[in-house]
Structure 1
Amino acid sequence: MAITFLVLGLTIALLMWGRFLVELVAVGSLLALFLFDVISLDVALSGFSNPTVILIGTLFIVGEGLSRTGITAFVGEKLIARAGGNPIRLLVLAMVATGVLSGFISNAGTVAALMPAVVLASWRVRSVPAAFLIPVAFAANAGGLLTLTGTPPNIVVTDALDAAGFRPFNYFEFSLIGIPLLVVAVVYMTLVGRRLLPKSRSATEPLLVEDTMVGFADTYSLRGELYRMRIRASSPLVGSSLRESNLGRRFGVSVLQIDPFHDDPTLFGQPLPSALRDRVGAMQAEPPGLPDPDRVLLHNDVMLVRGAPEQVSEVEVAMHLGMLPVEEAPEELGELLSQEIGIAEVLIAPRSSFAGAVVAEGAVGRSFGVLVLGIRRGDHHVDSTEPLQVGDALLVRGTWKAIGVMAEEVRNFVVVGQPEEIATQVTDLDSRSWLSLGILVVMVALMASGVVPVVIAALLAAVAMLATGCLTSTQAYRAVSWSTVILIGAMIPMATALDATGGAARIADTLVDVFGGFGAVPLLAGIMLITTGFSQVISNTAAAVLMAPVALGAAAGLGVDPHPLMMGLAVAASTAFLTPVGTAPNLMVMSPGGYRFRDYAVVGLPLLALFFIVSLLLIPIIWPL
């Protein structure tokens, strides 16, 4: 027992110090317990097969699937719109959304679904993820107290009451204390907690679509070189294809997109009101794609063309086209992005086989199925009819898959920046977006209904994300925060060691004896104090399991109703605000937020005190002792 407490104390001290990687400290504590013969080899490695560890890993994959299909960017955009660019309003909205959703699905599942959107929204309101992610994690912990299935400790205490012959808590009974505590958490974070959060930009700011498109438009001189050209009835293009027209070779222009003509919708032969007409037109619009070179061009089709003014003027006269310049080139480029189609910048590598090739002759386009929007050599623009040289920069548009293939051609190209970051910010939803959302809904339904274990529901969702193409296996592997997985997998054996050596039971019995002599309310405070202490260093589920029989025995000894003591235990198990290892949400936000171990204690200690005060005031009123 002494060795277990020594290892536990040293582990906590090293984690608080923050000098070493948290996963390294956790693995070190595991090795120490094994080498001192406190736990067996099976127990030492059991954490890595624990359902909680598998659940966290799979939820990272589910969250990445939502991100890759535009759902998180869409949610983030809605949060930003509601927040109106106000970081405080965004903080409140993110915490309320997280708290409510975590009442019905696992806390980890909620954080996995919303964290990418909150991270993106934080940068868009000119803040940092560190200002929002701990509040989101704490809101998930508090929101778990809204329903029976919100967090495992609720189920533990309910099952313990039922097994002991007492009335179990009903599904929404937890909300009687959960709603006030969630309100307390939101108010505290808004007024006080946000001022205690780290302000450093430790996390890497993602590339924002708007800024990237502005950079592309300026670098490749696209301002004033994008035009919309309408095909007139007299145009020789009518009835021919892009391949047959050969506009690139003849005039040196590039056709980026073709918008087919749609007749104005009518109802019973009468034109629709403008607002309704615009909505119907939006429904008819197709996601931006690459122009089909074999598609037959029709009268009133509109082409988005890129070229120098003199080149475009020549096309206009020769092809009998109507021309309208595009004033906002960055916005137009942004509209060319979709879940399938992207834009990236690539460099010609020193040993590239494309050095000397001519873009206008289709050298790059035919090989990879992309369009070259512009070429830059040093500080000046290069015409597509000139041979490419080593170091030339090309702005290409194609499928994200094609851009990925070019990135893998390391001998020929160097892809600049992070196109994948841009891909996750596209808010235009497609069929894969709705598919990933459907997978999330099914996962939530399975978790809420209890048809299958929570971890199985998450595994099914992760497999479905991969099987349906919502993300690739490489993207799934990169999405998992392996430091988080290692940390919690290595810390789980600590709970086993505390239980097996009798250390947890000894501390609990001693403190209950001390507090029980002063009456029922001090006993409630003592039970909450012990439980929250355990939940800071071991999982809150383990803390609830250890304390449930102690609370029931103390209630029987004093002759009081066990319900308030068990509710206090459930609340205390959800107050793991002082360390990142107490709950899965705390761990999940640590790396994306760039937090240190002690950041949790600085922000969480005042909130923990508020939860204690509010709980000790309300629990005896709602469930009389």
Structure 2
Amino acid sequence: MNTDLLLVLLLLGICVVLFVRNRPRMDVVALLAMVALPLTGILTVPEALAGFSDPSVVLIAALFVIGDGLVRTGIAYRLGDWLVKTAGSSETRLLILLMLAVATLGSVMSSTGVVAIFIPVVLGIAVRLRVPASRLMMPLAFAGLISGMLTLVATPPNLVVHSELRRAGLEGFGFFAFTPIGLAILLLGIGYMLVARRWLNPRDTQQTSGRSRHTLADLAGDYRLFERERRLRVLPHSPLADRTLDELELRTQYGINVIAVERHGKFRNLLLMATGNTSLQSGDILLVDLASPAIGLLGAYDELGLTPLQLKTSYYADHAHELGLAEVALPPESQLPGKTIQELGFRSQHKLNVVGLRRNREALAGLLVDEKLKPGDTLLVAGDWKNIERLQGLSHDFLVLSLPVEVDEVAPAARKAPYALLSVAVMIALMVSGLVPNAIAALLACLLMGAFRCIDIDSAYKAIHWPSLMLIVGMLPFALALQKTGGIALAVEALVGVLGDAGPRALLASLFLLTAVIGLFISNTATAVLMAPVALSVAQQLGVSPYPFAMIVALAASAAFMTPISSPVNTLVLGPGRYRFSDFVRVGVPFTGLVMLVSVVMVPWVFPL
């Protein structure tokens, strides 16, 4: 072992210790290592900075932008809505569906990109279901890694091993050659995470009870809206049809406050925010707030040609991306106390409806238009999110309190959703076909999203998670340093020398273990490049089929579950899940052992020795 190798291993050991302590931050440690390697003379400055031009780094940055484009167009949250709707209140069902969805999508596109796209989705789901994000983020990452074991194109190491087989004059792997083993590992992963999630509870209460902002459900409950919410269909020949809300005076005459109108169009359903000029049509579904829950019993519905519809959940929850709520306080200098709710003119001036009133911290059971305001009252207003945000700083007579968390999920480019899907479809098609490198495919998708106005330049730069990129860039030079100093070759020679006479299954297990350990410190693609020739030469010396040995290296390269720096996928969820280095060790090491056991058993069965 030469002096340069000892120096590289020393630097690597220091980095690992600092990673475990998490002081300083991981990205800072990586940048310090990137500075230290050229100072030792082991790498040149261009070699140490080569990570900035690495295609995987460019790919990850582009995928951050694409993920934000899917968020801005509302696609990510619609997917989250589907997961929540299908899972209901069951965290178990949610975890299963999440891992299946991520693994399926990741089987045909970059797992890093899939995880980047799903992170905001999972964070939103965690808030809505009041589940700690830490219990979902690691299953998300593990599903992303397992997706690399499902198809040939799912991850670069698979293609590296495939190319090595072709270079050796052998037939490469088929598109679905990985699928039987990958499916078994996916089912194992789902079962394992259902048990291991209990180890991922947050160490503090910030994730569960520390939020200072209300949700829509909190506000609706505080103001007793659930008692008064109704969905009413306008029947054929109703006297309301073809008349505006100002003409009808439903709130004054009947105590029916129309908040919004669901209207079925030719191509898609519309949600129209109610204003005085809103004209009703036969077949419209009115989202209303009643002055009293007993109104429907007084014959008003029959008189107006309305029929109540079932309301399983609050319509504010159903339309959270368009219809919002906000609490408005009356400061001491306000001129509004003494006025009635009707005299406020919120609908005419601000295009918002007053739907709730709290006095002395108690919500009024009903809300009458002639109710006079008193100092200290707080109002709840409903309407379009843009109009709610526009209220802030608009008047000295009222103060908008903190907006609910759902305002962060508003899709400012919701109408561009089809174009965002088209951009992603183009990227996936290019990645699957191999017509262009993955990084170029992702950059083309970014440009398409920009051209279609799914995302703007400022939002694109803000979308990139720079600490994650700096961590990856800073650690990449270690791969070259270990190669130049002979560290990798030394480890491989030791393996062949010690286990050369052992049985095939023992060698398969050893190859898996060595590949997984090397993958802790260098990229899984580089690991596959180094280990694939070794696997084929071992098979040749034993006189057995090379396919099990090539497959075991590919699977082990994707089994980067043990540390947060083993894969960019793990690094991405480190911050959102508020994990420590030890969390991945505690959960990932046992799972890696299980994956190795399944692989050593199944690989010779699928690819006979």
TM-score, structure 1 length as denominator?
Answer: 0.78
Partner of 2:159: 155
1:186–1:306 Cα change, 3 Å = closer
SS in 1 for 2:154: coil
Is 1:396 aligned to residue 365 of structure 2? no
Matches within 5 A, 1:154-303: 154-190=158-194, 192-198=195-201, 200=203, 204-205=207-208, 212-220=215-223, 222=225, 241-242=244-245, 255-258=258-261, 286-296=269-279
Equivalent AA in structure 1 for residue 104 of structure 2: V
Residue from 488, 491, 494 that aligns with 2:472: 488
The 1-side partners of 2:456 and 2:379 are apart by 26
SS in 2 for 1:344: strand
Partner of 2:30: 26
Q: Which moved more, 1:34-43 or 1:370-379?
A: 370-379
1:72–1:41 Cα change, 3 Å = same
Q: Which moved more, 1:464-473 or 1:385-394?
A: 385-394
Equivalent AA in structure 1 for residue 21 of structure 2: W
Residue from 57, 61, 70 that aligns with 2:61: 57
Per the TM alignment, residue 105 of structure 1 is displaced from its structure 2 partner at its CA by 1.6
1:562–1:238 Cα change, 3 Å = closer
Matches within 5 A, 1:458-537: 458-470=442-454, 476-477=460-461, 479-518=463-502, 520-537=504-521
Q: Which moved more, 1:581-590 or 1:477-486?
A: 477-486
1:90–1:308 Cα change, 3 Å = closer
Residue from 327, 331, 335 that aligns with 1:345: 327
1:38–1:624 Cα change, 3 Å = same
Residue from 137, 141, 144 that aligns with 2:141: 137
The 2-side partners of 1:297 and 1:183 are apart by 52
Per the TM alignment, residue 7 of structure 1 is displaced from its structure 2 partner at its CA by 0.8
Partner of 2:94: 90
Partner of 2:434: 450
The 1-side partners of 2:168 and 2:321 are apart by 54
The 2-side partners of 1:171 and 1:229 are apart by 52
Partner of 2:571: 587
Per the TM alignment, residue 159 of structure 1 is displaced from its structure 2 partner at its CA by 1.1
Q: Which moved more, 1:386-395 or 1:574-583?
A: 386-395
Equivalent AA in structure 2 for residue 618 of structure 1: M
Is 1:603 aligned to residue 587 of structure 2? yes
SS in 2 for 1:157: helix
SS in 1 for 2:273: coil
Conservation of the 8 A alpha-carbon contact between 1:148 and 1:154: yes
CA deviation digits over 1:131-152, x for unaligned, max 9? 2322332232222122110111
Per the TM alignment, residue 495 of structure 1 is displaced from its structure 2 partner at its CA by 1.7
Conservation of the 8 A alpha-carbon contact between 1:359 and 1:387: yes
The 1-side partners of 2:229 and 2:600 are apart by 67
CA deviation digits over 1:329-356, x for unaligned, max 9? 9824445x35444333355689999999
The 1-side partners of 2:316 and 2:593 are apart by 51
Matches within 5 A, 1:357-436: 369-374=351-356, 379=361, 393-407=378-392, 415-419=400-404, 421-422=406-407, 424=409, 431-436=415-420
1:418–1:568 Cα change, 3 Å = farther
SS in 1 for 2:519: helix
Equivalent AA in structure 2 for residue 96 of structure 1: L
Equivalent AA in structure 2 for residue 150 of structure 1: A
Conservation of the 8 A alpha-carbon contact between 1:495 and 1:538: yes
SS in 2 for 1:25: helix
Conservation of the 8 A alpha-carbon contact between 1:232 and 1:321: no
Q: Which moved more, 1:143-152 or 1:437-446?
A: 437-446
Partner of 1:577: 561
Q: Which moved more, 1:531-540 or 1:400-409?
A: 400-409
Partner of 2:524: 540
1:410–1:180 Cα change, 3 Å = farther
Uncovered stretches (5+) of structure 1, i.e. residues with no partner: 261-280
SS in 2 for 1:401: helix
Conservation of the 8 A alpha-carbon contact between 1:240 and 1:297: yes
Residue from 4, 11, 16 that aligns with 1:12: 16
1:292–1:7 Cα change, 3 Å = same
Q: Which moved more, 1:178-187 or 1:194-203?
A: 194-203
1:323–1:8 Cα change, 3 Å = same
CA deviation digits over 1:160-191, x for unaligned, max 9? 2222323222222222433333333333334x
CA deviation digits over 1:40-81, x for unaligned, max 9? 333333323322223223323333443444444443444445
Per the TM alignment, residue 535 of structure 1 is displaced from its structure 2 partner at its CA by 0.7
Equivalent AA in structure 1 for residue 219 of structure 2: F
The 2-side partners of 1:360 and 1:562 are apart by 81
Is 1:564 aligned to residue 568 of structure 2? no
1:24–1:203 Cα change, 3 Å = farther
SS in 1 for 2:560: coil
Equivalent AA in structure 2 for residue 204 of structure 1: Q
Q: Which moved more, 1:47-56 or 1:460-469?
A: 460-469
Per the TM alignment, residue 97 of structure 1 is displaced from its structure 2 partner at its CA by 3.0
Matches within 5 A, 1:93-132: 93-121=97-125, 127-132=131-136
Partner of 2:52: 48
Per the TM alignment, residue 584 of structure 1 is displaced from its structure 2 partner at its CA by 2.2
Conservation of the 8 A alpha-carbon contact between 2:519 and 2:557: yes
1:231–1:374 Cα change, 3 Å = farther
Per the TM alignment, residue 155 of structure 1 is displaced from its structure 2 partner at its CA by 0.6
Per the TM alignment, residue 484 of structure 1 is displaced from its structure 2 partner at its CA by 2.0
The 2-side partners of 1:300 and 1:143 are apart by 46
Equivalent AA in structure 2 for residue 15 of structure 1: F
The 1-side partners of 2:327 and 2:460 are apart by 24
Partner of 1:274: none
SS in 1 for 2:207: coil
CA deviation digits over 1:358-385, x for unaligned, max 9? 9856776566554444565764779888
SS in 2 for 1:593: coil
Conservation of the 8 A alpha-carbon contact between 2:233 and 2:283: no
CA deviation digits over 1:452-497, x for unaligned, max 9? 3222333333444455454566655554433322222222222222
How many corresponding residue pairs? 596
1:619–1:304 Cα change, 3 Å = closer
Equivalent AA in structure 1 for residue 98 of structure 2: A
Equivalent AA in structure 2 for residue 399 of structure 1: D
SS in 1 for 2:495: helix
The 2-side partners of 1:326 and 1:169 are apart by 56
The 1-side partners of 2:233 and 2:192 are apart by 56
Conservation of the 8 A alpha-carbon contact between 2:27 and 2:468: yes
The 1-side partners of 2:118 and 2:353 are apart by 35
Conservation of the 8 A alpha-carbon contact between 1:527 and 1:568: yes
1:373–1:407 Cα change, 3 Å = same
1:560–1:199 Cα change, 3 Å = same
Q: Which moved more, 1:82-91 or 1:482-491?
A: 82-91
Q: Which moved more, 1:141-150 or 1:362-371?
A: 362-371
Partner of 1:441: 425
The 1-side partners of 2:312 and 2:82 are apart by 25
TM-score, structure 2 length as denominator?
Answer: 0.80
SS in 2 for 1:289: strand
1:383–1:83 Cα change, 3 Å = closer
Conservation of the 8 A alpha-carbon contact between 1:39 and 1:497: yes
CA deviation digits over 1:571-601, x for unaligned, max 9? 1111111111122221222222221111111
Q: Which moved more, 1:325-334 or 1:159-168?
A: 325-334
SS in 2 for 1:536: coil
